[in-house]
Amino acid sequence: MHTSEIVQAWGKILRGEQPSLSIEITKECPLKCPGCYAYDDAHLGGGQTLRDLSDRRSQDLVDGVLEVVDRIKPLHLSIVGGDPLVRYRELELMIPPLLERAIHVQIVTSAFRTMGPTWPTLERLHVVVSIDGLQPEHDARRAPATYDRILRNIAGQRVTIHCTVTSQMMQRPGYLGDFLEFWTPRPEIKKVWFSLFTPQVGDQMPEILTSAARQRAIAEMLQLRRQYPKLDMPESVIRQFASPPLRPRDCVFARTTQTLSADLETKITPCQFGGNPDCSSCGCIASMGLASIAAHKLGGILPVGTIFKASIKIGESRARFRKKSGRKYQTSEPLPILQIEKTGCDSLEQWTK
């Protein structure tokens, strides 16, 4: 993460725009994972589900994604599904022009099939592979994307492993450590992230962590990050799991990310989970990462979140004015407030200490 990218994101917020975009490029997935939020009846707000939408294929999908990106101009694009690798041919066509637009592209997949041979060499392309725990539990939940298949399909790649921690995992002492012991030695693995299972309001599911299990998970992650350098989670991010944003309006990630479903038109609100997520039980690592930045105090006094909230209000006012007047924001010059020195910042750690 570089200061120049932070400045760019801040500029978009001040203009009433969201710097991040997430697109469910397909409604199809070969998996039937218990607790998957994308196929929950409430994901699109009720009335229709992801499988009800008409999604695109072939060049129509490629052109549609590029049109959305050119219209919204995000700094970061997350490609999700369904499983994006269902549309692997289209991905091969859309990735080069997306990267030419100088945006960061993240593909979130189960790795049920092989990936592009050039992907590890593409600087702004990031591949995240979702793993549901150790092999016995994962294979039972996520077949056909079994451990054996994933290991074959990520050979020669450079990927991030993302595991959503559930109540079942926390019932066995040492589970998270065993998970890291298996994955971190492998050369294909750049880093590992943990999220905590996030339910919808009113859900009664075996995956939901109790308060005690949540606290144990936090304590274990704090210890494990010192043992496993590939666990790319600063202490400040892990501690945010103990006090997640209480509502979408308080969530920096929800406020700065627009999510579109498979028809490239339907907006998913209030965040990527859709429906009515139980924010008090939120375990989204993206939300915790941005919340930790918002909690950081500049000069030890002023929380970044205070600046963010003020910037949001300015941006919303400007967006309302443009909508009312029919004007578009047009400038080739940076906003005066953003004309600061653009120095480098190598990691989130430097912004969350």
In the three-class reduction of DSSP (H, G, I as helix; E, B as strand; rest coil), residue 131 is classed as strand
| Cis, peptide link before residue 234, omega less than 30° from 0 | no
In the three-class reduction of DSSP (H, G, I as helix; E, B as strand; rest coil), residue 340 is classed as coil
Q: pLDDT per residue over 221-256, tens digit each? A: 999 999 999 999 999 999 999 999 999 999 999 999
CATH numeric code, 18-301: 3.20.20
Instruction: Read off the pTM.
Output: 0.87
The domain ranges of the chain are: 18-301
Q: How far apart are CA 342 and CA 353, in angstroms?
A: 20
Q: What pLDDT was estimated at residue 336? A: 41
- φ, ψ (nearest 5 deg) of residue 81: -150, -145
Q: What pLDDT was estimated at residue 128? A: 98
Q: Which residues does the chain have with pLDDT short of 70?
A: 1-3, 327-353
Q: pLDDT per residue over 299-314, tens digit each? A: 888 888 888 888 888 9
